[in-house]
């Protein structure tokens, strides 16, 4: 077994030469999962808390705590908005989840979401210089049911400590009530990343995919497979961006969404799905393969694959079909199989395949822009503006079928996105302070640079130790043994 490069480049080359493309794709997934478990045990998680103010002598404790800190308390008492400036509230996000729909693994119990929520916090800090804390909450009521009101009450009580709230991995239908209630009743942005975040990055990828194939958003036929929080929000944002809802069809685990779905209409908790039933699929098509006939775009956010989306669906599509298969951790069909079936552009949610359409490209920059202008909410217009910011940034680099989105290592993109979102917040009248585009861009870039230099210093001095090579070898051996 060859020595593994710690940078984890060229993962495909780690596996035996006689492995098929399907075996390599499966083995990569197993390897990454095994390495995740081993590395999280090694580090004890991904995040820690460190002071950002210096100690230059004993009396600085009296400045930062009593008696000096009394001045901070009374200043904020007299002007609550001062908390954004003289505490870390202005750059602090709570990542809140009840862990009822964690990736494709379903209900993982409240603490089961900690790995994902810490991951969100890590990406916010590394990609946009935003501080964040993982907060997995127990939403069970006395009947043993998940109660959305418990999450709502928790966030309302916690909001004075944060500049924004990132909701994550809350199962439908509770996610709709939680987001819509908190967006209106909180005085800080409350953002559901599985919904608005995934919607924003998907619109970005779609914009550029359509630019490549030479089609217009307002003329395309779109099939959306899966009708959870992600795809229903994607549909809503695509419509808001200019797509024709009558040329769109959504499918849940039962059949198509349309005005004949009395089961959805009868349950008021699914009001977001019913809105789309009223707008889309006027022919009431219930068969996915039939819906895909001559379709321009297939967007799947349903359940992990790789055999969920069928090759025959793609073969049924129109010219130069665009296929987004973004279930995590395994796409509904692997990209090589989608290409073999005729897909012209394929995107997934993973960074080890071309065209990663993943909300990691969106939420760090979007939240940073909202925080810097102290926005009271994140509007749909801000999410769509972020989509165009991502798309336009990638377009400047030169689009091709394997490059429709910026990559996570394109640092300036997050600063551009933050600045564009901040300007839209000001335009929408939800910002507490007015900054220029350049001020937001430069501040974001400064914070990103400072974060990365700090991490580099800790790595150089072994405060962040290197993983043991044996750990990587163990993960690789497990992957090869499971697939062989």
Q: How far apart are CA 473 and CA 6, in angstroms?
A: 11
Query: Is the separation of the CB atoms in 277 and 255 below 8 Å?
Result: no
Three-state SS across 67-133? CCCHHHHHHHHHCHHHHHHHCHHHHEEEEEECCCCCCCCCCCCHHHHHHHHHHHHHHHHHHHCCEEE
Mapping DSSP to helix (H, G, I), strand (E, B) and coil, where does residue 167 land? Answer: strand
Query: Is the separation of the CB atoms in 288 and 217 below 8 Å?
Result: no
Q: How many CA atoms lie within 13 A of 115 on its CB side?
A: 14
Going from the C-alpha of 478 to that of each of 2, 238, 353, the distances in angstroms are: 15, 42, 21
Q: How far apart are CA 412 and CA 358, in angstroms?
A: 17
In sequence order, what are the residues at sequence separation of 6 or more whose Cβ sits closer than 8 angstroms to the Cβ of residue 89? Answer: 83, 160, 161, 162, 163
The three-point CA angle 428-432-434 to 5° equals 75
- 157 burial (CB, 10 Å; 0-12 / 13-18 / 19+) is exposed
Q: How far apart are CA 403 and CA 231, in angstroms?
A: 22
**Among residues 265, 193, 189, 227, which one has the least CA distance to residue 430?**
189
215 labelled catalytic: no
Using the structure block, give the residue that is written with the tokens 């593994």: 4
65 labelled catalytic: yes
> Which candidate in 65, 396, 449, 466 is catalytic?
65
> Which candidate in 33, 56, 64, 120 is catalytic?
120
Query: Is the separation of the CB atoms in 359 and 197 below 8 Å?
Result: yes
Query: Is the separation of the CB atoms in 321 and 298 below 8 Å?
Result: yes
Q: How far apart are CA 259 and CA 84, in angstroms?
A: 46
Q: Is 158 left (phi over 0), alpha (psi -120 to 50) or beta?
A: alpha
Going from the C-alpha of 344 to that of each of 35, 303, 440, the distances in angstroms are: 33, 23, 37
- Residue numbers annotated as active site: 65, 120
């Amino acid at each position: 077994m060859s020595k593994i490069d710690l940078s984890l480049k060229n993962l495909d080359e780690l596996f035996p030469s006689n492995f098929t493309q399907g075996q390599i794709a499966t083995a990569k997934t197993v390897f990454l999962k095994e390495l995740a478990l081993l590395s999280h045990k090694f580090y004890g998680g991904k995040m820690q808390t460190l002071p950002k103010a210096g100690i230059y002598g004993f009396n600085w404790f009296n400045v930062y705590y009593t008696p000096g800190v009394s001045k901070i308390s009374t200043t904020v008492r007299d002007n609550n908005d001062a908390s954004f400036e003289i505490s870390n509230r202005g750059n602090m996000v709570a990542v809140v989840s009840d862990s009822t729909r964690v990736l494709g693994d379903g209900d993982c119990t409240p603490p089961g979401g900690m790995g994902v929520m810490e991951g969100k916090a890590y990406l916010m800090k590394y990609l946009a210089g935003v501080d964040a804390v993982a907060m997995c909450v127990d939403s069970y009521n006395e009947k043993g049911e998940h109660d959305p009101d418990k999450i709502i009450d928790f966030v309302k009580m916690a909001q004075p400590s944060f500049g924004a709230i990132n909701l994550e991995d809350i199962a439908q239908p509770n996610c709709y009530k939680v987001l819509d209630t908190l967006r209106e009743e909180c005085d800080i942005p409350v953002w559901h990343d599985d919904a608005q975040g995934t919607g924003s990055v998907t619109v970005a990828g779609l914009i550029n995919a359509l630019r490549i194939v030479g089609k217009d958003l307002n003329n395309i036929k779109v099939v959306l497979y899966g009708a959870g929080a992600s795809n229903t929000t994607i549909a809503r944002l695509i419509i808001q961006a200019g797509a024709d809802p009558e040329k769109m069809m959504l499918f849940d685990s039962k059949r198509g969404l349309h005005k004949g779905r009395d089961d959805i209409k009868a349950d008021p908790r699914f009001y977001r799905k019913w809105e789309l039933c009223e707008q889309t699929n006027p022919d009431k098509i219930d068969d996915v393969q039939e819906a895909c006939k001559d379709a321009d775009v297939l967007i799947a956010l349903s359940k992990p694959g790789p055999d969920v989306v069928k090759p025959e669906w793609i073969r049924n599509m129109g010219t130069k079909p665009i296929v987004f298969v973004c279930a995590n951790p395994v796409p509904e069909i692997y990209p090589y199989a989608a290409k073999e079936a005729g897909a012209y552009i394929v995107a997934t949610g993973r960074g080890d395949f071309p065209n990663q359409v993943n909300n990691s490209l969106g939420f760090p920059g979007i939240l940073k822009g909202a925080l810097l202008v102290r926005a009271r909410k994140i509007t749909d217009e801000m999410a769509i503006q972020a989509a165009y910011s991502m798309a336009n940034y990638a377009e400047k680099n030169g689009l091709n079928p394997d490059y429709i989105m910026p990559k996570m290592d394109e640092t300036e993109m997050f600063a551009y996105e933050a600045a564009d979102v901040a300007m839209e917040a000001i335009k929408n009248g939800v910002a507490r302070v007015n900054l220029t585009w350049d001020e937001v861009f430069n501040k974001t870039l400064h914070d990103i640079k400072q974060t990365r230099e700090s991490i580099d210093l800790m790595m150089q001095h072994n405060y962040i130790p290197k993983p043991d090579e044996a750990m990587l070898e163990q993960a690789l051996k497990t992957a090869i043994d499971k697939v062989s």
